[in-house]
Chains A and B, each alone.
Chain A
Amino acid sequence: DAGVTQSPTHLIKTRGQQVTLRCSPKSGHDTVSWYQQALGQGPQFIFQYYEEEERQRGNFPDRFSGHQFPNYSSELNVNALLLGDSALYLCASSLAQVSGNTIYFGEGSWLTVV
């Protein structure tokens, strides 16, 4: 049973560029959430996708956008990168109709903006 997988693992981008991060949820999960974790801090919620739509969004600018595909996988896009976007980006998957502890994270994508 595959867990949550994210790609790429590490990447370096230049200010002003655009980046796309990818996430495949745990088998059987239909909901994907994205979090940004700056160095030395706890993760911050960016947004969540369910049924190919953004269901909720955290306090992030429109430069951050996403997409969910019919197979439940998801992409996070960040435009016009800033130095402050350097962080670990975590993807979490869950099952919409089940509450409790069914939230699993991937290993994350380390983004460095120079």
Chain B
Amino acid sequence: AQKITQTQPGMFVQEKEAVTLDCTYDTSDQSYGLFWYKQPSSGEMIFLIYQGSYDEQNATEGRYSLNFQKARKSANLVISASQLGDSAMYFCAMREPYNDYKLSFGAGTTVTVRA
């Protein structure tokens, strides 16, 4: 069964605007971690932001924030003030305690920032 679902294959956003990337997850555990990574065309997987399931506050890292709604099992990424360099593939991933050794990734969302 799919553990991470990203329903938006591609998105366009105007420079300087905000964009929200959707991510829903499936787990029966109470303890888990959620990640967002950025992957430019070069291939490197760049860590953006992390949210632990017990973290009471939504994670923020600069222009990135994670809208964590535990009851809905969603962990949406918000990129504020988009820049041309934000154009890339974005992946949501989950790390579960019983399976602490690996990340399960979604299919990704391609973001294209327009000038």
Question: Which B residues are within 8 Å of any A CB, using their own CB?
Answer: 4, 33, 35, 37, 42-47, 50, 52, 91, 93, 95, 99-108
Name the contact of B52 in the complex, choosing from A43, A56, A100, A104 (C-beta under 8 A): A100
Question: Which A residues are within 8 Å of any B CB, using their own CB?
Answer: 31, 33, 35, 41-45, 48, 55-56, 58, 88, 90, 92, 99-101, 103-108, 110
Given contacts A105-B45, A107-B43, A110-B43, whether A99 and B35 have CB atoms under 8 Å apart is no
* A101 engages B33 (CB within 8 Å): yes
User: Which residues from chain B contact A42 at a C-beta distance below 8 Å?
Assistant: 4, 91, 93, 105-108
A-B contact pairs, 13 of them (CB 8 A): A41-B108, A42-B91, A42-B105, A43-B91, A48-B101, A90-B43, A92-B45, A99-B95, A99-B100, A100-B50, A101-B35, A103-B35, A106-B44
* A108 engages B44 (CB within 8 Å): yes
Q: Smallest CB–CB gap between B89 and chain A, Å?
A: 9
